[in-house]
Amino acid sequence: MSDRMTVEVWLYGPVSRYGKEIDQDLVQDRRVEASYGQLHLRLREGSTVTDLLEHLKLPPEEKGITFINGNLAAMPGVDTDRDVELHDGDRVGISHRRSMWPFQYRFGASLDETLRDSFRERKDRGIHHAYTEPDE
Amino acid sequence: MAEILRVNMTDRTATFEEVPEKYQHLAGRGLTSTILYDEVDPTCHPLGPNNKLVFAPGLLTGSVAPTTARVSVGGKSPLTGTIKESNAGTGWGQQLAKLGIKAVVVEGHPKEEGWWGLQVTKDGAEFFEADEYAGRSLYEMAPSIFERFGDRAGMMTIGVAGEKKMTMAGLCFNDRENRPSRYSGRGGLGAVAGSKGLKFIIVDDTDGPGVEIADKDLFDQGRKKMLNALRSHDITKPKGGLNTYGTAVLVNIVNEAGGYPTRNFREGRFEKAAATSGEAIFEGNQERLGEELYNHACSPGCVIQCSNTWFDEDGEEMVSCIEYESTWSLGANCGIGDLDTIGKLIWLCNDLGIDTIEAGNVIGVAMDSGLAEFGDGETAIKWLDEDIRQGTHLGHILGQGTDFTANAFGNERSPTVKGQGMPAYEPRAIKGIGMTYAISTMGADHTSGYTIAPEILAVGGDVDQFDVDKAELVRAFQQTTAFIDMSGHCLFIAFAILDIAEGFEGLVEECNGLLGTDWTGDDVTRIGQEILDKELAFNRAAGFTAADDRVPEFMRYEPLPPHDVTWDVPDETLDAVFGEA
């Protein structure tokens, strides 16, 4: 197991159910409630957020905001977290699509570098509340 | 023709006046702040005879435009000493507007002890003796008011905290179920009503004239655009974020971001936050009721419907509503991590007539001062239910707010700006909200910095959240918020109209349709700035300077975990927001 690392994962809202389904071999410990799940996972070193989501079998369309170590790493419609490599001791928070973080309450908060770069390149500079198309 | 109702508590007279020409296009916060600027000496004592309490429905309030049941209340705040506007979502404001009343101005000072109510109908305004309702639990007392005045009446009242002139006292309005649960909570305006002997304003709009609309086609076009935006945006749509999880949808997000103030702003993340979140409320209710429960409207005509209800273990209603700010202030900020205790504390705030945000700040500071351990819900309940309710000496200290309590117990860690306790976002971790708190004309206020469509924000220059100088962006937030607060729309429309340009067009068209004006997007920021200019002038005349536009000193030297950050926004940046730059 020397090539394994421990990552703390928090799942919020309905996506918490994927915490129950993950392969037992990867689980160090877990507490899964209906509204949230907290898991310590033993993942292969070099694993990315995409690898984590695959382990969880969490469909992309259900995933909302991602945090890595308290830094905002992805929002619905801006999936900049995919290739981010995780490290031993990291904390990852994943919320359901229905959660939100309006701009005025995240203005000046800490962003993961990849998301920051993505926002810098956008014409709107990342000040929208949502990045998904409204429903018809 | 709309009128202003002037209520003199010195001689107990109520008279209707014509609306002056200069007030014709003002409403809501725009009107309360203008009347205060025009009529109130900024150096007056907030509880003395020269302060006034002004109620004004928004511009669109009482019309069929969606989510427009806001009423603004203004006065000089006994908590902050600044001008204050605090608004609530309640059918009360709609009824006032439908009676053709643009504002109620309460002034003077009673010569004798005693409590009075004012009943306002299409036939006029009459006083009634209210001593029999004073000193009582609001939940116990409220039904007797609806029994007397009818179920469709609207109620504005104060609780024992307002009667005792505590600066954490709010003004209480009824919700759609006639619960005493909708608040103009912030800034101690309940104490101003108390100082004037005003216990109630009861409104019934039966057979009232309704709201005049100058150009119905344009108004309808605007409100349909607004409706479409609200119904399609992820945050505001049916079964979207707010309708499912309420405002407490933010708990897990802000906690994960490390910006969720915990144990009197000692940490930015609370280990039990997830158990007190909007998701936990939704799932907890489902478990206790055996079915999914989506949220309800706080007031008639709201399509966002973000108000929740928390049910106890027996499936009986405990309290409505557990807002984000309340589950935080009485939860994480006090180290309390279970919804039943938080629900009980919120119920007590509603019952006593106090602001949940200030109450949680006060309890947090008291715990931080060693009066109880963090997490001791039993003592927190006792402080509210016994000390504040009975008016013990401790109750009177706590009732005077966060700064007063911190001073009383020699605690330098008082999380306030201009004397008002901070809401549920840590300035050190989320710098933008810290700027909003610092420069708001109202003291630490999370609702003074909402955004509208980027094309409007771009007026006067490029907007970039990554610029070192964020002053211009913050100024634009303040302007657009002031305009929404005038419109009568709930601020939450800002979520939809920032992202959906047609929704913003709808806002302007609704206003133009109602008034017959030809405002454009530029007028939104202009009018917003005009409101701010009056508020800033009032505050300056009251003695406030740039040195008051600061977050507390301890945030500059005490690193906040988990990011271990201090407050580092330069004073010059804050001063540039409303400066001559």
The three-state (H, E, C) secondary structure of B64-95, written as one string: CCCCCCEEEEEEECCCCCCEEEEEEECHHHHH
Chain B: give the shortest CA distance to residue A46, in Å.
Answer: 23
Domain assignment present for residue A135? The answer is: no
Domain assignment present for residue A130? The answer is: no
Q: In this structure, what token pair is assigned to residue A41?
A: 């996972």
Pairs across A and B, CB distance < 8 A: 167
Q: Is the distance from CB of B205 to CB of B91 less than 8 angstroms?
A: no
| Residue of B362, B329, B324 lying closest to B262 (CA atoms) | B329
- The pTM (predicted TM-score) of the whole model is 0.97
Domain assignment present for residue A78? The answer is: yes
Chain A: give the shortest CA distance to residue B339, in Å.
Answer: 13
Helical ranges in B108-215 per DSSP H: 138-149, 160-163, 189-195
Domain assignment present for residue A129? The answer is: no
Chain B: give the shortest CA distance to residue A24, in Å.
Answer: 24
Count of residues making up chain B: 581
Query: What is the location of CATH 1.10.599.10 in chain B?
Result: 431-491+516-577
Within 10 A of A70 (CB to CB), how many other CB atoms are there? 22
B269 touches A at CB < 8 Å: yes
Within 10 A of B300 (CB to CB), how many other CB atoms are there? 13
CATH superfamily of B3-203: Aldehyde ferredoxin oxidoreductase, N-terminal domain (3.60.9.10)
CATH number at residue A26: 3.10.20.30
Residues of B in contact with A108 (CB under 8 A): 430-435, 465, 470
DSSP helix/strand/coil, B121: strand
Terminal Cα distance for chain B, rounded: 42
Task: Give the closest of A35, A130, A135 to B499, CB-based.
Answer: A130
Domain count for chain A = 1
Tracing tokens 């057979």 back to the chain, one arrives at B207
Give me the interface pTM, i.e. the ipTM.
Answer: 0.97
Query: What is the location of CATH 3.60.9.10 in chain B?
Result: 3-203
pLDDT in tens, chain B (581 residues): 699 999 999 999 999 999 999 999 999 999 999 999 999 999 999 999 999 999 999 999 999 999 999 999 999 999 999 999 999 999 999 999 999 999 999 999 999 999 999 999 999 999 999 999 999 999 999 999 999 999 999 999 999 999 999 999 999 999 999 999 999 999 999 999 999 999 999 999 999 999 999 999 999 999 999 999 999 999 999 999 999 999 999 999 999 999 999 999 999 999 999 999 999 999 999 999 999 999 999 999 999 999 999 999 999 999 999 999 999 999 999 999 999 999 999 999 999 999 999 999 999 999 999 999 999 999 999 999 999 999 999 999 999 999 999 999 999 999 999 999 999 999 999 999 999 999 999 999 999 988 776 666 654 445 567 765 678 888 888 999 999 999 999 999 999 998 898 999 999 999 999 999 999 989 999 999 999 999 999 999 999 999 999 999 999 999 999 999 999 999 999 999 998 54
Domain that holds residue A11: 4-121
A130 touches B at CB < 8 Å: yes
Task: Give the closest of A96, A104, A134 to B449, CB-based.
Answer: A104
> In angstroms, rounded to a whole number, what is the distance separating the alpha carbons of residues A103 and B205?
38
> In angstroms, rounded to a whole number, what is the distance separating the alpha carbons of residues B74 and B54?
5
Q: Most B CBs within 10 Å: which of A103, A116, A121, A122, as the mutation test of the B interface?
A: A103
Task: Give the closest of A34, A100, A136 to B287, CB-based.
Answer: A34
Architecture of domain B247-294+307-414: Orthogonal Bundle (1.10)
Residues of A in contact with B465 (CB under 8 A): 107-108, 119, 125-127
> In angstroms, rounded to a whole number, what is the distance separating the alpha carbons of residues B497 and B484?
11
Backbone angles phi, psi at B86, to 5 degrees: -130, 125
Residue B91 burial by Cβ neighbours in a 10 Å radius (0-12, 13-18, 19+): buried
Query: What is the location of CATH 1.10.569.10 in chain B?
Result: 247-294+307-414
Domain assignment present for residue A132? The answer is: no
> In angstroms, rounded to a whole number, what is the distance separating the alpha carbons of residues B257 and A95?
12
* A contact residues 87-106, partner B, Cβ 8 Å cutoff: 93, 95-106
Domain assignment present for residue A55? The answer is: yes
- DSSP annotation string for A66-134: EEETTEEEEBTTB-TTTTPBP-TT-EEEEEETT----GGGTTT--B-HHHHHHHHHSTTTT--S--SPP
A33 touches B at CB < 8 Å: yes
Domain assignment present for residue A52? The answer is: yes
From B274, which residue of chain A is nearest by alpha-carbon distance? Answer: A36
> Which residues make beta-bridge pairs with B119?
B126, B202
A12 touches B at CB < 8 Å: yes
Helical ranges in B324-401 per DSSP H: 324-329, 339-352, 356-368, 377-382, 389-390, 393-399
Domain assignment present for residue A128? The answer is: no
Contact B277/A36, CB-based, under 8 Å?
yes
On the question of a cis peptide bond just before residue B172, with omega within 30 degrees of 0, the verdict is no
Fold for B431-491+516-577, please state it: 1.10.599
Burial state string for B194-218 with b = 16 or more CB within 10 A and e = fewer than 16 = bbbbbbbbbbbbeebeebebebeeb
> In angstroms, rounded to a whole number, what is the distance separating the alpha carbons of residues A117 and B222?
37
- DSSP annotation string for B208-222: ------S-HHHHHHH
Strands (E), B154-204: 154-157, 171-174, 180-184, 198-203
Residues of A in contact with B229 (CB under 8 A): 134
From A73, which residue of chain B is nearest by alpha-carbon distance? Answer: B257
